[in-house]
Chains A and B, each alone.
Chain A
Amino acid sequence: MTRIRNLASAALLGASALFAFAPLARAQELPPDQLVKNVTVEVVELITKDREIQQGDRAKLIELIDAKVLPHFNFTAMTALALGHSWNKATPEQKKRLTEEFRTLLVRTYASALAAYSEQKLDFRPLRAKPTDTDVTVQVRVLQAGAQPVPIDYSMEKTASGWKVYDVMVGGVSLVANYRTEFNNVVRESGIDGLIKNLAAKNRRFEPGAAKR
């Protein structure tokens, strides 16, 4: 039972994990753990104070994520990692389309997860890395009453435009790795174009406005 619950909170938080980012004026100069902390605190504050978002305004929430969170993610890297081998077989145009669709899917998922956030406390762990490292894991733990804390690990890489997230692990579940089997199943059956179509159809089905329940 606890197993199911923990798995589910992992899934939930996995989805919510990306909410934690927002750009800052000096984002490029910040060390990765500081970056994560600052933007997490900022975004959490924004959403808990925004009445419309609190009342379920999904479009506004996505707007907020777009502005604050997305600049800190490297979606091309995430898509490449999720696709594995198939990525190299894709044309530049296909890569572009795939990245766009995957990004839409992830953003919508984060929005849902974020909407479920209810004032859990966050514990920002000190970074264990050398100053010269260019690939680090930033650890945050979500503390919740009556349950084991859920760790969220951001895999981040240093780029010319600052630190960028390329994977999020929630409760030990890597978001990128979790899409790999799914993606490869579709690619094997209907090719890369099939996957693009599949993702696009999925995204249209859940567009804000086409609200479910």
Chain B
Amino acid sequence: MTPSRLALAHISKSFPGVKANEDISLSVRPGEIHALLGENGAGKSTLVKIIYGVQQADEGAIQWDGSPVAIPSPKAARKLGIGMVFQHFSLFDAMSVIENIALGLDEAVDRDVLKARVAAILDSYSLPLDPERAVHTLSVGERQRIEIVRCLLQKPKLLIMDEPTSVLTPQEVERLFLTLRQIAMGGCAILYISHKLHEIKALCEAATILRGGKVVATCDPKVESTKRMAELMIGAELRQIERKPGGEAGAARLSVKALSLDGEPPFGTDLEAVTFEARAGEILGIAGVAGNGQSELLTALSGERLAGSANAIALDGRPIGREGAGPRRALGLACVPEERNGHAAVPDFSLADNAVLTARHRLPLAPLGVISRGDVARFATAVIQRFDVRTTGPAALARSLSGGNLQKFIMGREIGQTPSVLVVCQPTWGVDAGAAAAIRQELVDLAAKGSAVVVISQDLDELLELADRLCVINEGRLSAARDVATLGIDEIGLMMGGVHGADAPHGADAHA
């Protein structure tokens, strides 16, 4: 039997206060696609950083093709033949694809030589990508291909993919899996990091499951059940969303009519005649790949940017298109933007102060403009308790909370005001499965009480689980809403792909 491409033995790594990795062993064979499965904070990223040389293990040994190695830096890792595609791409929006690829190389390569090598790789993996296009014009799937090509140029023996599908359309995911299988067929080992179980079942031959920094199980994902893997990963029974049956949607609470808005400079997407209705008691999902107008839509609804006419947006029949954010909140339209630190919350303010900022319009937290400290502390404490926010108390700074905990607090702050309409963007982005389930349950409960909830998300699984009706935003245009029950995932994927055409043949994508 050939030696493992990569074998980790008893790896441990501590940070002040936490043991991120404890006694982790795993091995990957050449040509194997190996899943590394775990929740946020399970130690996946620390382990991967150790493999890629970003961090050093406190204890344990690494073997590469059967011989012990030290990996002191990412450069050393690349020299061994380890390539990595990070979840957050290291790309430069204003530059062309070929410039981005050149920047990802350790040595200078003549532009024409590089072009030829890139063309050869794109050809042999039949990847559609135009080397001269500027990155900001590309879809997320195409951007990811740049990162993959960067890795493939180094002829990797081990490719690490960190949550590669979190922002892709289903078609783009299929496309990626084809590419990954082809790369593995060539003898390259792949370490595939994810918490999406059905993907791991479809792609991987082996899985190592991490929880709390330790290996809790290794299994064959093709054989093991999804439910069992989920429970191993979470360490508890998976909570299902409870819905009260038979809730008929009521009257329209939020109606948006032919809302058009210029994109945010420099590379924003223009909204074009967006029209939809969110009805009492329903959750309306808005799917779409990032950068198709979601942030413009959210700022238009929140009142950060005003619509051209008052009638473009109506709340319970009342035109509010020309009202600012404050009056809209007072009337009962609450919004939670995607960016938590800096948009939804002020990082250097305490949780209590952050509560005042949006809740003062509907709750008597600052009568006559004077902040009532006691009421604010009570409200913030109530939110912390009800939403199980892990923090030291209302005086903690927003920036000191983890992303998931801050999100729970922000959602709690808005839901605690019982808004008539709640618009949320990426409600469970980067939130662990337990907390995500709790947030989703709160959204369902809010709708059940008669509010209208609009969820803008790139996570289709989430939308299919939550939404009653679904529409898709693509290049600033919104499709008509469809009942989720009657929609197939392929159909949504096609709607999401739109003219970006995840699988459109090279050069044939319409950019009208």
Chains A and B come from one and the same complex: no
Which residues of B does A touch, CB under 8 Å? none
Report which A residues bind B (CB closer than 8 A): none
